[in-house]
Structure 1
Amino acid sequence: MSSDVPDPTDIEARTVENVRIEEEMEQSYIDYAMSVIAGRALPRVEDGLKPVHRRILYAMHEMGVTSGSSHRKSSSIVGETMGDFHPHGDSAIYDTLVRMAQDFSMRYPLVDGQGNFGSMDGDPPAAQRYTEARMAAIAEELLEDIDKDTVDFSSNYDDRLQEPDVLPAAFPNLLVNGSSGIAVGMSTNIPPHNLGEVIDATIELIDNPDATVEELMEHVKGPDFPTGANIVGRDAIYKAYKTGRGRLRVRAEFEVEEWKSGRERIVITELPFQTNKARLVERIADDVNEGEIDGISDLRDESDRDGVRIVVELKRGANTEIVKNRLLENHLERTFGIINLALVDGQPRVLSLKETLEEYVAHRREVVRRRSEYDLEEAEDRAHILEGRLKALDNVDDVVELIRNCENRTEAKEALQTEFDFSSDQADHIVRMQLGSLTSMEAAEIEAEYEEVQAEIERLRTILESEEELLGVIKEELREIDAEYDDDRRTSIIEDEGTVTHEDLIPEEEVFVVMTEDDYVKRMPISRFDPQGRGGKGIIGADVKEGDRVSAVFRANTHDYLLCFTNQGKVYRLKTYEIPEMGRTARGKSAVNILDLDDGEEITAVVDTDTFDDDEFVTMVTKHGYVKRTAGEEFERIQSNGKIAASLEDGDALVDVEVTDGTTDLVIATEGGMTIRFDETEARAMGRTARGVNGIDLEAGDAVAGLVATDEEDGRALLTVTQNGYGKRTVLSEYRTQSRYGKGLIDIKTDERNGPVTAVKAVDDDDHLVLMSENGQIVRTRVDEVSTVGRNTKGVIVMDVEAGDAVASVDTIPAASMAADEDGDADTSDDD
């Protein structure tokens, strides 16, 4: 390296500034975020446009590509926009241009496109070199009077040109065409509206600045999507207009038609906004092929340029209501989340309907004021010139003679100013006049023009001096646009009358649900089982295959929503009617298609509810004696793959569950015949994933069999049933309250005759008892047939269990639930 050339590593920095890296990163990120928010992603409240939209329209305005001109190649428009105003790549500009031309994306398209601009099927537009475009007529209303100093301008990216910060916007485009975009940490999603309705609401607000959102909604009924369809319910619309945020249910428009041979078909003619039609048809077809939707024989897309037409042909005998509502649940209804976020004075704000219109009216007031000032200045300048011409005509001979005697125009101008007191502008105009303008007819025309200009000056001064007149101009111009561009509403607003689901078509009845260890499941109407005397063998309730055995039987209503707790500490949500109904001698069907159970996972407890009061708890007990209470609200949203209800230590299992309210006592019973009763508040409320606290001090080899919730005034009895079919009742008051984690009291003798305890239940005298054995025998008997005795007794035989069999599960039928099956036909045949 030459000695004259400095070593670049030795050059000293001119300025070295020490900063904390976290502060620099924070400030840089804030600067970046605000750049995205203000310069790319969010629209301005005044004209409803983002910078790229505004720049495209302004570039077309400067190019003269208006609605009255011929179409211009899209590539030319994109190139001009990119070169002069938006140096961010042609694809982003062209994508925006395309969307502004799509009548299924914009309620009132701002670009008139010629060529392939895409479709509702998601087809891409042709390349920009093939398509042509020009401004739509309504877009010119956004730019009207932009050359009259109505808005502020700023330098473009290279300081060569000026571009508008906002457009004059002769109509509230933010609401009319809506907007969507994702910025940094925020997003906007504003639906389109009907132009006439928005203009009517704007005029209402001008006339009545104190108008409420409810009063404005008398004009703006709700969003009006370019693809039509229906908005379900008005409450969500009101919430969105009131707060700036809301969630609308948008439902496709369809009708059921009678078809050949008595069959029916569903014809879909309008789709929710931003629905990909081809993908929708594909998803429906997938559901039909996978058996998710039954009753459809054929599916066709018959759409053309005249509109959407999707035909769903039904099989003979198919239930149209079920098919229709399956389509609604999964395909024909979607949610549109409204976030009315826009830039106000450079800051993002969530606006109500009224605030949005107020900001627009304030903008329009400023535009009309500045335009009037500009027009007034122009009119006064013209009046000044006309006054000079009229004065010259009054002294025409002297003026002509003076000009003839001057050697040049400069001398003539000075002479006119000196001799006749003309201003410099008047003198300059006079010396440039043609002789033809000195005729009497020309003089009359000047007089008429002068009077018109004076009237215009008077009008403009009135507008500037009177707020009422200025607002009147705004209203008049809005009415003119309304008359020119308004059309009929496309989106209907319908009330939510509910849908007929599969559940609605299932008879409401009490049933037994039987589950086996190998995960077979079925339901049977309770009415098939008459009460029998205590000690009977029962009848077949399930044909259990070799090696399998019944793990649970429980009572439910076909319309119940059940929380099913498993031995592995998980909980699943199940609709009873989803369980297949089968006969007594049937084995059942695999539960894999109903519950996503893991290997070795069994249902051990069922809670018959899916909503909880604020003060209710799900109280659980495990085999090792741990007890835990968790707020019920934590179990209100459960996915198909279940949710953790309790964490278990190795070898432990969830045994039983009760719903409590914080005021009850808990009774824990063990397989060895022990019980303990304590106040539930001794087990503090915990989260779902907690293990819990010790509830009972178990003897070696003992395990928890069940859980009962009771209180001091509870007149019920504790029913205890053992594996060998013996049981007894003891009034709950005999179980005194102790402290948690004690040894407890003896409840029942578990000798060789009785076997270990299988279950405990709190029962009334008029309840019924249901016992099921591992081999599938089932007995229904009256509770009052089981003797009421004291603690520490053996009990009586409740079910005659054969050798090698054992009681697997016990449940009760409350008296209040038995009315539903009083008229049912009993099936009491003995299948032994």
Structure 2
Amino acid sequence: MFEEKDKKDKDNENFDDIETDIGSNLDTNNDEIDEDNKVYEIKPTILETITDNISPIKIEDEMKVSFLDYSMSVIVSRALPDVRDGLKPVHRRILYTMAELGITSGTSYKKSARIVGDVLGKYHPHGDASVYESMVRMAQPFSLRYPLVDGHGNFGSIDGDEAAAMRYTEARLSKISNKMIEGLKKNTVNFRPNYDASEVEPEVLPAKFPNLLVSGVSGIAVGMMTKIPPHNLAEIINSFIIFAKNPEIDINDLIATLPGPDFPTGATIYGKKGINQAYLTGKGSFLIRAKAKIEYLNSGRSRIVFYEIPYEVKKPSIIEKVAFLVRNKKILGIKDVRDESTRHGIRVVFDVKKGFSPEILLNKLYHSTDLQVSYSVNMLALVKGVPKLMNLVQIFSHYLEHQKEINLRSLNFDLEKASEKLNVLLGIKVAIENIDKVIEIIKSSKSDQIAQEKLANTFNLNPGQTKAIIDMRLGRLTSLAIEKLITEVDELKIEISEIKSIIESPKKLIELIINQHKSVAEQFGDQRRSVIVPEINHLDEEDLITDEVVIISLTQNNYVKRINLDEYRLQNRGGFGASTSSLYKDDELKSLCITNTLSDLLIISSNAKIFKLRSHQIPDSSKQGKGIPFLNLLRLQKDENISNLIAWNQEYKNHWLITVSAFGNIKKTELSAFRNIPKNGKIALKMVENDYLVSAFIVPDDPNIDIIIASSQGLVNRWPIKLLRNSGRASIGVKAINLEKGHKIIGACFTHGNDFVFSLSKNGFGKKTPVEEYRVTGRATKGLMSIDSSKAGDLIFVSTIKEGQEAIIITKRGFAIRIDLDTAPVISRKTKGVKLIKLKEGDEITSVSLIKKTVNDSQTNESES
């Protein structure tokens, strides 16, 4: 309670002080002031005083100057590497700090937080996260081809997992980083003050290998960016040595010595032309593709396994992308995706569904995901603080000049130290040769300084020599020590002579640089990881598909599959046929279509809408396969069924599409109207209520052909096509035949007048009849009897045929028989025909497809069970 009161009193005191301060800035005009009419003079405040010194400036001018300053800061101090050591400032400061802390490859690890703290406090006054992330990247073997930092702890993964917090991880310089800082204490590079002039830092590291090309770099500055891929150390050094021996080498000859980039994640590089262009001009691009293999399992299934992925691509992003494509039906045929990677290597598995080609799926995965990426090269780096786009020769040239400079400075440093040591040893040698006199001089001198002066005057010695004599131990006077001294003097003279010879000979200096780099290559060189392929074969999906005759099978419930024609072997007529499909409950076969894998397939729905697919897009299957729903391939509406499948020949030019409905309407439309069909289909025929499409076929532009229309009761109407006018896609058409009540159209075809009419009933009775027996009548007439339906059953199929054709007859229970129609008897129009297939009780014909007879057909009977 008392504490609260004291607090209030203190607040009141503060408030009184404020009032006093405010009052001090106010001045009255009179000593005695009328309280009702006070007049105050307001003195200028501090803010007003400052404002008086502000000069107006145009904001656009200030923006230009400020943005230019910012841009230069980002370009020079943040985003771009130096051409000499290949490092950005933050990376250089990290390595230098670790060197200063003594955390080299031969010492124990030190906490990352300590390293980051020193970098921030001494050299890099920016965010700690950016410094730690830069250090983490230098420790990741999947980011750098040769990591510059040896990390201990969780430093992230190729899956994109972040590193542990800096308080948990530890680090030290890697072995190859010793070559980055080697000679740093020999005055090999210039130092400059840090941000507050309390420390000094190197402008560049000595870097005894071409780190810019070996480690690679990427960075975005203001208005410019750099992106240099990593390379194999041994290959880069080999190429550099060739350049060092002959700096005038033609750039194309130099490029020929360097295979190309080598990524830490391996993978395959496609596009030698793009690589050479980058080396020639500084800009270029190429493709990186994941390495994959296809594993075939005993179950008949297959899987695609990726074991190396493109550089800087994260595995989870690949898997997520594929899952998205599968969910949205952009890619069909992938059953499951698994990441089976371990610490020993990458293994991403895609299980392939039966009926799908793994080669085609692999091609789709490359083109639809980051399993194949484009890498754009932009070899931009700082040259004397100025950003410059360089080719391979220019990069090597600047690097070679850097090596010359640091080696000369190192040699001069060694020469100075050796000369100083030789000077001392020569003085000691003089002292030993005159030891008695030296001892006498020293004993007679009152101080070291006097002794040094007497020695200098007596033996003509310099200060360095006299000091060494004064500091010399008596142990140096032994005969063994004297011999050692003489030997050491001789060795130093030889060493100094060699150093001078290198300094004075540019050729010897180059030889020294070459030998240094050979040593680095021998110590750290390894095998290439990335495979380079000169050019990628831009294969379309269909380049991987064999063009062969296939059967497209459709069921009543819209399940579809693709079967090789050889699955249906030729049989004698009159058999039960072979089991052709394993159907779902309450489903039955509806129709077959004979086509080629590389042909288009026109798919016509019950709503008279046309879709188009390539035949190979329908999954391959066996006769016993159930197939997949058409809904997986097409954008069908609810309750929309597939009625017809038509093989589209690309050679069709002046052709027409004939569509016929169950109620007897027929229409002729130019086939060219259906060349470009959107994914949601195109209307082919306008339908009246409860009507549906029963037949569709393609005819040539020939006025001499006749149309044949057949009803379920066995009536056939033949009339000239010229009686059918051309119609638009959305029209209803005209009447094709005069149907009796309860009858419907079951099919239609066309004839040139020299064919046979092949008729088949639901109960398996069929025949072929000369077309001449069907006289030409007018359109919309009743037609002539084609088969005795009272005995053979309702007519199910009618088509014109020529010699050399076969028929595949399908029943609703999934049995099929393939017969040679040349063996079928020629019978007159009014008969019921002969039994072409035996039907089991409750079974009936649902579909017939005609094909041309092949050379290798054999009369082999299949199982009839």
**TM-score, length basis structure 2:** 0.62
From 183, 191, 205, give the equivalent of 1:167: 205
Map 1:641-720 onto structure 2 (within 5 A): none
Structure 1 contact 176–198 (Cα < 8 Å) conserved: yes
Q: 1:402 deviation in Å?
A: 0.4
Structure 2 contact 703–721 (Cα < 8 Å) conserved: no
Q: Encode CA deviations 1:295-338: one digit per residue, 9 max, x unaligned.
A: 33333222111111222233344312122222222232112221
1:359 paired to 2:283: no
1:491 paired to 2:530: yes
From 224, 234, 247, give the equivalent of 2:285: 247
AA matched with 1:505: I
Distance 1:147 1:383 in 2: 21
Partner of 1:142: 180
Change (3 A) 1:437 1:145: same
Distance 1:823 1:158 in 2: 96
Change (3 A) 1:274 1:782: closer
AA matched with 1:112: D
Q: 1:25 deviation in Å?
A: 1.2
Partner of 1:379: 418
Partner of 1:528: none
Change (3 A) 1:559 1:391: farther
Partner of 1:77: 115
1:456 paired to 2:495: yes
Distance 1:42 1:159 in 2: 23
Partner of 1:442: 481
Structure 1 contact 773–801 (Cα < 8 Å) conserved: no
Distance 1:393 1:346 in 2: 55
Change (3 A) 1:781 1:296: closer
From 512, 521, 545, give the equivalent of 1:505: 545
Change (3 A) 1:247 1:508: farther
Distance 1:130 1:176 in 2: 30
Map 1:17-32 onto structure 2 (within 5 A): 17=55, 19-32=57-70
Structure 1 contact 779–799 (Cα < 8 Å) conserved: no
| SS in structure 2 of the partner of residue 142 of structure 1 | helix
Q: 1:482 deviation in Å?
A: 0.6
Partner of 2:133: 95
Partner of 2:323: 285
Partner of 1:203: 241
Partner of 1:312: 350
Distance 2:452 2:149 in 1: 51
Distance 2:387 2:484 in 1: 54
Distance 1:773 1:313 in 2: 42
Map 1:578-617 onto structure 2 (within 5 A): none
1:368 paired to 2:404: no
Partner of 1:123: 161
Q: Encode CA deviations 1:661-681: one digit per residue, 9 max, x unaligned.
A: xxxxxxxxxxxxxxxxxxxxx
Q: 1:772 deviation in Å?
A: 7.9
AA matched with 1:501: E
Distance 1:189 1:824 in 2: 64
Change (3 A) 1:307 1:501: same
Structure 1 contact 772–778 (Cα < 8 Å) conserved: no
From 800, 816, 830, give the equivalent of 2:724: 800
Distance 1:405 1:395 in 2: 16
Structure 2 contact 241–514 (Cα < 8 Å) conserved: yes
Q: Encode CA deviations 1:560-579: one digit per residue, 9 max, x unaligned.
A: 9xxxxxxxxxxxxx997799
Map 1:467-486 onto structure 2 (within 5 A): 467-486=506-525
Distance 1:189 1:342 in 2: 10
Q: 1:401 deviation in Å?
A: 0.7
Distance 1:21 1:289 in 2: 53
**TM-score, length basis structure 1:** 0.64
Map 1:777-796 onto structure 2 (within 5 A): 785=703
1:51 paired to 2:89: yes
Q: 1:284 deviation in Å?
A: 2.5
Structure 2 contact 669–726 (Cα < 8 Å) conserved: no
AA matched with 1:464: I
Q: Encode CA deviations 1:509-564: one digit per residue, 9 max, x unaligned.
A: 9xxxxxxxxxxxxxxxxxxxxxxxxxxxxxxxxxxxxxxxxxxxxxxx9689xxxx
Percent identity between the two aligned chains: 40
Q: Encode CA deviations 1:64-91: one digit per residue, 9 max, x unaligned.
A: 0011110101111111111111111211
Distance 1:129 1:273 in 2: 29
Structure 1 contact 321–500 (Cα < 8 Å) conserved: no
Distance 1:428 1:575 in 2: 97
| SS in structure 2 of the partner of residue 261 of structure 1 | coil
State the number of aligned residues.
598
Partner of 2:258: 220
Distance 1:161 1:15 in 2: 35
AA matched with 2:206: P
1:187 paired to 2:225: yes
Change (3 A) 1:372 1:14: farther
1:42 paired to 2:116: no
Partner of 1:704: none
From 301, 304, 318, give the equivalent of 1:266: 304
Q: Tell which deviates more after alignment, 53-62 or 372-381.
A: 372-381
Distance 1:360 1:198 in 2: 12
Change (3 A) 1:30 1:798: farther
Distance 2:63 2:148 in 1: 40
Partner of 1:516: none
Q: Encode CA deviations 1:787-809: one digit per residue, 9 max, x unaligned.
A: xxxxxxxxx984514998459xx
Distance 2:671 2:308 in 1: 58
Structure 2 contact 230–261 (Cα < 8 Å) conserved: yes
AA matched with 2:275: I
1:322 paired to 2:246: no
Distance 1:324 1:406 in 2: 93
Larger Rg: 2
1:333 paired to 2:372: yes
Change (3 A) 1:779 1:67: closer
Change (3 A) 1:88 1:9: closer
Partner of 1:110: 148
| SS in structure 2 of the partner of residue 442 of structure 1 | helix
Partner of 2:644: none
Structure 1 contact 578–594 (Cα < 8 Å) conserved: no
Q: Encode CA deviations 1:339-381: one digit per residue, 9 max, x unaligned.
A: 1111112111222122211111111111111111222122222
RMSD of equivalent CA atoms: 4.4
Partner of 2:100: 62
Structure 1 contact 506–577 (Cα < 8 Å) conserved: no
Distance 2:104 2:183 in 1: 14
Distance 1:98 1:429 in 2: 49
Structure 2 contact 360–544 (Cα < 8 Å) conserved: no
AA matched with 2:435: V
Distance 1:403 1:781 in 2: 126
Distance 1:362 1:374 in 2: 18
Change (3 A) 1:395 1:465: same
Q: 1:232 deviation in Å?
A: 1.6
AA matched with 2:440: E
| SS in structure 2 of the partner of residue 464 of structure 1 | helix
Partner of 2:742: none
Q: 1:418 deviation in Å?
A: 1.6
Change (3 A) 1:826 1:784: farther
Distance 1:194 1:244 in 2: 18
AA matched with 1:223: P
Q: Encode CA deviations 1:215-247: one digit per residue, 9 max, x unaligned.
A: 333432111111111112311211221121222
AA matched with 1:435: L
Q: 1:460 deviation in Å?
A: 1.5
Q: Which runs of 5+ in 1 are unaligned?
A: 510-556, 561-573, 582-587, 596-607, 610-718, 722-756, 762-770, 787-795, 808-821
Distance 1:254 1:591 in 2: 27
Distance 1:295 1:328 in 2: 15
Structure 1 contact 322–500 (Cα < 8 Å) conserved: no
Q: Encode CA deviations 1:465-520: one digit per residue, 9 max, x unaligned.
A: 111111111101000111110011111112524446156537599xxxxxxxxxxx
Structure 2 contact 292–304 (Cα < 8 Å) conserved: yes
